[in-house]
Structure formats: structure tokens, C-alpha cells
Amino acid sequence: MKNILVVGAGGQIGSELVPHLQKIYGNSNVVAADINTKCADVFKDGPFELLDALDAQKFADIVKKYKIDTIYNMVALLSATGEKNPQLAWKINMGALMNSLEIAREFNCAVFTPSSIGAFGPNSPKDNTPQDTIMRPTTIYGICKVTGEMLGDYYFQKYGVDTRSVRFPGIISNVTLPGGGTTDYAVEIYYGAIQQKHYVCPLPEGTYLDMMYMPDALDACVQLMEADPSKLKHRNSFNVTAMSFEPSQIYAAIKKRIPDFTMEYDVDPVKKAIADSWPNYMDDSCAREEWGWNPKWNLETMTDDMLKVIGEKYKAGLLK
Ligand code: AKB
């Protein structure tokens, strides 16, 4: 039986990962931890602990208390926020990861930490970006991700810590909004389409980026952590993607379903520069071969589901 700790549980991925893991492993076997006190009201179905992931002593105490054997470290400042305060991004992103790795080493835990398309940089091949290629990111977020990937492999090779990771693309979801990412537009556009029938897009037409719907992202986490270790030639981190599109394509997909939806561009130069340094689409064949990665959602099916779920929330008065 797994005893899992999700650190940064209140974020975009963590808030859906916790109930997903609870369904699989049982509510009491998945501990949610976050720095935000409001999360105590959200994670009512299982144990919740208030935790600043930079507090190594409290982090270790929680791992001891619940006999944790698997840590999902979901703590991170995202790419656009990171550029506003690079020193803070390094402190939080690397601090949470180092604590996860050190505590995992001490208490013999496995560790999952997401990497990102942000680990690539302008020198990486843009199309069909290979699993193993040049990685010279130009954002502090990406520098943290590449460092994190290398640290993950280092802790595996040197100490035998079972570290595994994926390079997530933009994650599109309808429960918790992302914050401060470059790919956030692909979430916000659905809310704009339903609420205002209009959206102002911060990335220019033609900016292709890899994307994934949340249910596939959750499957990726569990599938990789459950994968037979003898089959893994890579560990930190696997390219994974489900779709690649640029703003006018997601706009067209929504407009097909909401004909009076309109979109204009007001390009954010910081986000544009970040997006321009990332792949158009990645080659995720290693993930497919080594642990059976096989995403189920595409732009059309995801758009149907996003509009349905968010539309229902507005109708029920859960969103204003
Ligand atoms: C971001 O845009 O910063 C994140 C990511 C792709 O890692 N969503």
C-alpha cells in the first residue's frame, strides 16, 4: 500500500492530483500539504497538513508521521511569475525540490517532480523536440527545471532514490486556475468565451506550444510512478504531450461551438519571448515505449468537455 504526500497540493495540478490519487490508493493514504491555510477546507476527504515546503524539519516530520513512501513535489513558481522575481523563483522551486530529495533519501521515499517544456531553450530543436537534446533554457523557471532534472538523476544514481519526472506541456484544466504561466491563455480563453464571449490573447497567432488536458496529466503521473523500473531507460524527465496548437486554432475550436465568440491579440512581450524559446511540439516516443504513455484527449474533445464543465459551473452560480 502506498502512503503518498502531495506537497503544493493547492496548485493547478495538485488540487486535482490529490482526489485522483485518493480514488486509486484510498483517501487516508494520500496526505495533501500546502502553505495556503484555505486548502484545509478543500482537502476534507483525507489528511491535510499546513506546510511551507522550505521548512525541512516540518516536511520531514510529516513524512515520519504518516510513514510516507512517495512524495509528489508540485511546488513551483511558473515561468512568467518567475521572470518577475528570479531569485524568489530559484529559492522556492529549488528549495522545495532539495527538501523533497533529501527527505526522500533519509526516509527511503520515491519522488515525482514535474519538469516542463520550459526546460528547453532557443537552441533546442523546435519541431519534434527529441527526448535527449541540447537544453539551454533562458528563463529562471527553465533553469530550475533543468537543474531539477539533473538533481533527480543524481539522487537516483548516487543514492538510489527512485526519482521520476515528466516534462509537462501547458496543462488545461477546469478546477483550479493556473497562475503566472506562459501557457495559461489556453485555460483563460475558455472562461472568456463563456463569460464575456471575448478573449484578449497575450500570445501572437502562430505561437505553437504543446498542451495537455488535465485527465491525461493525472494519468501520466500515476502511470510513470507505477511503471516497471527495469523498463525505464530515462527517469528525469520524459517528454510527454497530447496536442500542439497555436492561439487561432483554439479560438477556432471554441468558435465552432460558440459562434459569437471573438478574440483579439494584445501581445505580452515577456510571455512571447518565453513561448518563442520553447518547442513547437515534442517527440514523446520514449515515454510511449518505456512506460506506455498514450494520451486520450485532443483539442476537439477537450474543448467539448471544458465548455460543458465551465458552463455548468456558471449556471450553478459557482463562478461569477
Ligand atoms: C508555464 O507556462 O510556465 C507552465 C509550463 C509549461 O511549465 N504551464
Residue 208 designated active-site? no
What does the pLDDT read at residue 171?
A: 98
CB 88 within 8 A of CB 81: no
What does the pLDDT read at residue 1?
A: 62
The topology (CATH level 3) of 171-211+241-315 is: Rossmann fold (3.40.50)
What does the pLDDT read at residue 249?
A: 98
Q: Give the pairing of strands 209-213 and 243-245.
A: antiparallel
Phi first, then psi: give them for residue 101, nearest 5 degrees: -70, -45
Ligand 1 atom index nearest CA of 141: 3
Answer whether 4-168 and 171-211+241-315 agree in fold: yes
At position 298, the amino acid (one-letter code) is N
What does the pLDDT read at residue 47?
A: 97
Which position among 66, 72, 141, 251 bears the catalytic label?
A: 141
CB 119 within 8 A of CB 135: yes
Query: Which of 182, 210, 270 has most ligand 1 atoms within 8 Å of CB, for mutation?
Result: 182
At position 78, the amino acid (one-letter code) is L
Q: Hey, where are the domains in the chain?
A: 4-168, 171-211+241-315
CA dihedral 195, 199, 203, 205 (to 10 degrees): 130
What does the pLDDT read at residue 277?
A: 98
* Best CA proximity match to 71, nearest among 20, 33, 124, 119: 33
* Best CA proximity match to 101, nearest among 165, 50, 40, 47: 165
Cα 61 to averaged position of ligand 1 atoms, centre (Å): 31
Q: Which protein residue has the closest C-alpha to ligand 1 atom 1?
A: 181
The topology (CATH level 3) of 4-168 is: Rossmann fold (3.40.50)
Asked if omega into 237 is within 30° of 0 (cis), the reply is yes
Phi first, then psi: give them for residue 129, nearest 5 degrees: -50, 120
Cα 183 to averaged position of ligand 1 atoms, centre (Å): 6
The tens place of each residue's pLDDT in the chain, 320 residues long, gives 689 999 999 999 999 999 999 999 999 999 999 999 999 999 999 999 999 999 999 999 999 999 999 999 999 999 999 999 999 999 999 999 999 999 999 999 999 999 999 999 999 999 999 999 999 999 999 999 999 999 999 999 999 999 999 999 999 999 998 889 999 999 999 999 999 999 999 999 999 999 999 999 999 999 999 999 999 999 999 999 999 999 999 999 999 999 999 999 999 999 999 999 999 999 999 999 999 999 999 999 999 999 999 999 999 988 88
